[in-house]
Amino acid sequence: MATSQVETVTTGAEKAKLAAAIVLVVAGLAGFYLLTRQGQLVQWGVLLLGLIAAAGLFFTAETGKQLASFGSDAWREVKKVVWPTRKESIQVTVYVFGFVLVMAIFLWATDKTIEWVFYDLILRWR
């Protein structure tokens, strides 16, 4: 039985870094909308600057380091996957479409049989 551990931000400095990152995101968004008269270049510059600064600050915090480590581990695991060849992918796709077609015909035949039993034989509505 696996137990999951929940880690929380404990130090005041970590909380301050995360709060500052959130403030930078909000400031970038606010600047984007408040600087409409300055032109799109200034708007997008302020937004990107706010987002980049927030990301930089976030990844210096322990939570950001853990997220980066998780992403690195996940990418390492994805590299280990043996992906199917083109031929295998096409074969499996054909099998799936064939199965769906067979199931559609089976369900249609079942529906028509039940309709015939109920409406024609039992209720005699036709």
- Which 8-state DSSP code applies to residue 116? I
Query: What's the pLDDT at 120?
Result: 86
pLDDT of residue 73: 96
Domain boundaries, the chain: 10-81, 84-126
Nearest-angstrom CA–CA distance, 91 and 98: 11
Over range 32-57, report the average pLDDT: 95
Q: Is the pTM of this model over 0.75?
A: no
Q: What is the DSSP letter of 83?
A: P
Give the separation between CA 61 and CA 22, rounded to whole angstroms: 13
Provide the mean pLDDT of the chain.
Answer: 91
Amino acid, single-letter form, for residue 8: T
